[in-house]
Amino acid sequence: MAQERLFSMPFATIYPLYVAKVERKNRTVAELDEVLCWFTGHSPASLHAAAESDQTMREFFEHAPGITPHAALITGVVCGIRVEDIGDPLMQKIRYMDKLVDELAKGKALVKIMRSA
């Protein structure tokens, strides 16, 4: 099942893809880290430790200090599916993260990406 394959994929495989995507669009790794830390509750140090470990995506989210309470405000389409309609909680977190990276790469302001109230 493709979903289980994604869950068992190392975060260390995904993070460099995010870095490449945002750098291609003239955004910085610092901005990416800020968004990912806001979303997951990780510190920059723990985020980078995860990116250098063999943690799977499932383990990355299991060890995340806390998903932002503003996550429900993240809406839109990733891979043809509305993120707010995804039933599996882990898949929804992964797609929320993908959506945030997409927004960063598209030039959206950090304050808007992080849904600051």
Residue 1: what pLDDT?
A: 59
Give the domain ranges of the chain: 2-110
pTM recorded for the entire structure: 0.93
Domain 2-110 maps to which CATH number in 1.10.8.290, 3.30.70.1230, 3.20.20.300, 2.40.50.100? 1.10.8.290
User: For 56-102, how does the pLDDT look when each residue is reduced to its tens digit (9 = 90+)?
Assistant: 999 999 999 999 999 999 999 998 999 999 999 999 999 999 999 99
Identify whether the C-beta of residue 67 lies closer than 8 Å to the C-beta of residue 76.
no
